[in-house]
């Protein structure tokens, strides 16, 4: 199949269309606006809906309303907008409403660096909404992967009935690469859970299936039921029964586990590595180049490139971080994912993250230099 030269944000919109997205509500914000602009052109001729809402709170509300109506629905934003969406992301998690949110990360906090890349929203994606919200966040590392992981985000959202965030930075959003726009198979699209029984007065919209996913029908399909952001029982009715609430929270976390196997990390030259770089997104590209540079210098370096930030791919991180002598988490923030790796790594592993939050990408030379300095100091045996 032929490739097309497109930017990351266009690949995202193309992926959404391929995934059957038929509803977009959003609010302009750099550096994500191209996604909305492209879908504003592409959705209406297909009989689908594009609407620019009055703000990001409204955008996320409209997405959830549309999803309850049965649409595959999404929005796209950047840091400040992602912040405004957090309450409705919490709502979507608890009420089990599928949706996809693209966050093209820019420098923060606050208005920050609107047109510069960053990876500062990793913890916001995890903990931005109040309460113990389990969530899925994907981190594509190329324009091609923006396309494929946007499709995967819809599959995970629909099959697990949860919001899924796709986090990439401004560079990937605006970078142009050759992309193969392969149509997804039915398995790659996935299907939303739906009730297995006809409506009756004893119908339980929030009864989970064998995978722990509630089988909530779409509105207006013959089922009368209640959806709320309050803690609820299987009827969907509010409850403050401690045991039921605890069980619900546990189920909402457990049901997301399949995401870990679905989006495995990429291992590069890890087999004999004593120095392990861990990176995601754009930094994984330069980290890979850094591995090659270090290998040429005789340093046994390798890379674990994760495409899944949440739920944490803990098994893979534990394995590589305990087998290495030196682990370097490289990310464009003040150390967010590095903290997660730190608590998984063994006592004998030296951890020395390479962090850069100034608004530009970590280069291969910067990262290789960091490792070189450490090995010269005798941290890792090459």
Strand partners, 137: 165, 310
Using CB under 8 A, pick the residue from 28, 109, 131, 238 that binds another protein.
238
In the complex, least distance from residue 363 CB atom to another protein, rounded to whole angstroms? 42
Q: Distances in Å between the alpha carbon of 196 and those of 19, 216, 219, 258?
A: 24, 10, 16, 22
In the complex, least distance from residue 53 CB atom to another protein, rounded to whole angstroms? 7
Q: Is 57 in the site for another protein (CB under 8 A)?
A: yes
CA 273 – CA 146 distance, rounded (Å): 28
Q: Which is nearer to another protein, 135 or 306 (CB)?
A: 135
DSSP code of 179? E
Are the C-beta atoms of 250 and 292 separated by less than 8 Å? no
Q: Which is nearer to another protein, 63 or 143 (CB)?
A: 63
Place of tokens 């969530």: 135
Using CB under 8 A, pick the residue from 40, 49, 181, 355 that binds another protein.
49
For residue 198, the tally of other CB atoms under 10 A from its CB is 8
Using CB under 8 A, pick the residue from 12, 19, 73, 143 that binds another protein.
73
Of the candidate spans 50-58, 149-157, 314-322, 340-348, the one that interacts with another protein by CB under 8 A turns out to be 50-58
Q: Is 132 in the site for another protein (CB under 8 A)?
A: no
Of the candidate spans 84-92, 162-170, 251-259, 286-294, the one that interacts with another protein by CB under 8 A turns out to be 84-92
Of the candidate spans 46-54, 122-130, 241-249, 326-334, the one that interacts with another protein by CB under 8 A turns out to be 46-54
Using CB under 8 A, pick the residue from 211, 237, 241, 250 that binds another protein.
237
Which CB contacts under 8 angstroms, 24+ apart, belong to 360-363? 360/116, 360/117, 361/117, 361/169, 361/171, 361/282, 361/283, 361/286, 361/332, 362/283, 362/286, 362/287, 362/330, 362/331, 362/332, 363/286
DSSP code of 269? S
CA 367 – CA 121 distance, rounded (Å): 22
Using CB under 8 A, pick the residue from 3, 5, 55, 246 that binds another protein.
55
Q: Is 235 in the site for another protein (CB under 8 A)?
A: yes
Q: Longest Cα pair distance anywhere in the chain, in angstroms?
A: 72
CA 24 – CA 238 distance, rounded (Å): 30
What is the phi-psi region of residue 212: left when phi exceeds 0, alpha when psi lies from -120 to 50, beta otherwise?
left
Of the candidate spans 9-17, 53-61, 117-125, 140-148, the one that interacts with another protein by CB under 8 A turns out to be 53-61
* Contacts of residue 377, Cβ cutoff 8 Å, sequence gap at least 6: none
Q: Is 295 in the site for another protein (CB under 8 A)?
A: no
CA 239 – CA 24 distance, rounded (Å): 33
In the complex, least distance from residue 98 CB atom to another protein, rounded to whole angstroms? 12
Q: Is 204 in the site for another protein (CB under 8 A)?
A: no
Using CB under 8 A, pick the residue from 5, 230, 314, 339 that binds another protein.
230
Q: Is 180 in the site for another protein (CB under 8 A)?
A: no
Of the candidate spans 63-71, 180-188, 342-350, 353-361, the one that interacts with another protein by CB under 8 A turns out to be 63-71
Q: Which is nearer to another protein, 55 or 247 (CB)?
A: 55
Q: Is 231 in the site for another protein (CB under 8 A)?
A: no
* Contacts of residue 144, Cβ cutoff 8 Å, sequence gap at least 6: 11, 177, 178, 179, 180
Q: Is 224 in the site for another protein (CB under 8 A)?
A: yes
Of the candidate spans 41-49, 138-146, 259-267, 295-303, the one that interacts with another protein by CB under 8 A turns out to be 41-49
Cα-based angle 90, 280, 359 (whole degrees, multiple of 5):
85
Two tokens, residue 165: 């965030």
Of the candidate spans 110-118, 152-160, 165-173, 217-225, the one that interacts with another protein by CB under 8 A turns out to be 217-225
Q: Which residues bind another protein (CB under 8 A)?
A: 22-23, 25, 44, 47, 49, 51, 53-55, 57-73, 87-88, 91, 201-202, 219-220, 222-230, 235, 237-238
């Amino acid at each position: 199949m032929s490739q097309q030269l497109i930017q990351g944000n266009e690949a995202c919109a193309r992926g959404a269309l391929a995934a059957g997205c038929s509803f977009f509500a959003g609010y302009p914000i750099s550096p994500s606006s191209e996604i909305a602009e492209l879908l504003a052109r592409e959705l209406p001729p297909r009989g689908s809906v594009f609407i620019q809402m009055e703000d990001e709170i409204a955008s996320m509300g409209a997405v959830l309303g549309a999803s309850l109506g049965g649409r595959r629905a999404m929005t796209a934003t950047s840091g400040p907008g992602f912040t405004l969406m957090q309450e409705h992301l919490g709502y979507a998690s608890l009420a089990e409403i599928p949706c996809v949110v693209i966050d093209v990360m820019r420098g923060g906090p606050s208005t920050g660096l609107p047109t510069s890349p960053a990876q500062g929203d990793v913890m916001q994606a995890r903990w931005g909404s109040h309460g113990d919200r389990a969530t899925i966040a994907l981190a594509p590392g190329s324009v091609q992967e923006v396309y494929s992981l946007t499709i995967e985000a819809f599959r995970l959202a629909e099959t697990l009935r949860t919001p899924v965030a796709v986090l990439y930075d401004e560079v990937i959003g605006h970078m142009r690469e050759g992309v193969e726009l392969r149509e997804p198979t039915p398995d790659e699209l996935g299907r939303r859970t739906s009730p297995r029984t006809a409506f009756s007065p004893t119908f339980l919209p929030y009864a989970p299936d064998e995978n722990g996913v509630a089988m909530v029908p779409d509105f207006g399909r013959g089922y009368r039921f209640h959806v709320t952001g309050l803690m609820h029982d299987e009827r969907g009715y509010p409850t403050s029964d401690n045991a039921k609430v605890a069980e619900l929270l546990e189920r909402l976390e457990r049901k997301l586990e399949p995401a870990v196997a679905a989006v495995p990390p990429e291992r590069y030259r890890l087999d004999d590595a004593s120095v392990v770089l861990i990176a995601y997104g754009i930094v994984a590209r330069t980290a890979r180049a850094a591995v090659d540079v270090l290998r040429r210098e005789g340093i046994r370096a390798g890379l674990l490139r994760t495409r899944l930030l949440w739920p944490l791919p803990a098994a893979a991180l534990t394995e590589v971080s305990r087998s290495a002598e030196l682990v370097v988490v490289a990310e464009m923030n003040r150390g967010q994912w590095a903290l997660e790796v730190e608590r998984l790594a063994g006592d004998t592993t030296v951890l020395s993250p390479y962090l850069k939050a100034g608004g530009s990408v970590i280069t291969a030379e910067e990262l290789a230099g960091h490792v070189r300095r450490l090995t010269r100091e005798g941290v890792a045996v090459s």
